[in-house]
Amino acid sequence: MAAARALMRKTDLSAKEIVVEAMKIAGEICIYTNNNFIVEEVK
């Protein structure tokens, strides 16, 4: 969540791009999180 908040404040990325990047960061630092995830959007 910290990564997502930082990206929201300092970049012009879309919500989906922020989620993807934050999850990548979480996967790199947490032993219980991997980089295999699915993003579902409601439009």
Please tell me the predicted confidence (pLDDT) of residue 2. 86
What pLDDT, in 10s, does the model give residues 1-43? 888 898 889 889 998 999 898 989 988 998 888 889 899 989 8
Q: Are 19 and 4 in contact (CB under 8 A)?
A: yes
Domain boundaries, the chain: 1-43
* Alpha carbon distance 6, 36 (integer Å): 22
Q: What is the pTM of this model?
A: 0.75
The whole-number pLDDT of residue 40 equals: 92
CA gap 16, 39 in Å, rounded: 8
